[in-house]
Structure 1
Amino acid sequence: MRYLDFELSEGDDGITTLDAMASTPAARHADVLAEAAAVLAWCRREFPHTEGPVEEGQDWDHELLVSQEDGGWHTVTLTLTGSARFVDAFLAAFGEPLG
């Protein structure tokens, strides 16, 4: 990945969170959105019918936030929550995250 660096944190409830954020000038905003879309496409392809609240037994869920900052900068935040099997597959596909 070029823009999104994921950080991993594990909750006491067995749910793992992968957070990534990228802040770029407007000229790179589409690139970041494309990268986030590629990650979500992988999630949906590899775990096609298990998107939803992990605490309710699903394998993964996400939140994608996009904002525009002063000076024309754009911030994209992608948060994934996942079961152990989802996180293992994610790490195999995308490598070890920070943290």
Structure 2
Amino acid sequence: MTLRYLTFTLSEDTDGISTLDAMASTRPESHAEVMREVQNILDWAHRRFPDRHGPIEDGMAWNHDLLVQEEDGGWHTVTLSLAGSPQFIDAFAAEFGDAMD
């Protein structure tokens, strides 16, 4: 799946939890496209890892945080963070590798 707006950066915290972070800031006319990308990613994660969404430290495969803000001048900023197990990160890279730094 090709993503046009979201590019993810992978990081790992001191507890060994991997996180993928992406942010897109767009004019109002492109906001719906960004939100479709977000929904496509979340739909993929739910299909690929059903019943495994929740805190990683509780043994789940993935979790997410989504923040949508309207900025001055009508800009919309969308931030999507995905925390994942090694299996989730590998599957994400196989599916969305072109969208990773």
Amino acid at match of 2:59: G
Indicate the residue corresponding to 2:66 in structure 1.
64
Is 1:7 aligned to 2:9, yes or no? yes
Compute the displacement of 1:28 (Å): 0.2
Indicate the residue corresponding to 1:25 in structure 2.
27
With the length of structure 1 as denominator, give the TM-score of the two structures.
Answer: 0.96
Compute the displacement of 1:43 (Å): 0.3
Compute the displacement of 1:12 (Å): 2.4
Secondary structure of 2:66's counterpart equals strand
Q: Please list every run of 5 or more consecutive structure 1 residues that lacks an aligned counterpart in the other structure.
A: none
For 2:93 and 2:12, the matched residues in 1 are separated by 14
Indicate the residue corresponding to 1:92 in structure 2.
94
With the length of structure 2 as denominator, give the TM-score of the two structures.
Answer: 0.94
Q: Please list every run of 5 or more consecutive structure 2 residues that lacks an aligned counterpart in the other structure.
A: none
CA contact (8 A) 1:14 1:83 kept: no
Q: Deviations over 1:47-83 (max 9, x none)?
A: 0110000011100000111000000000000000000
Q: How many matched pairs?
A: 98
Which of 39, 42, 50 pairs up with 1:40? 42
Identity %: 57
Amino acid at match of 2:52: T
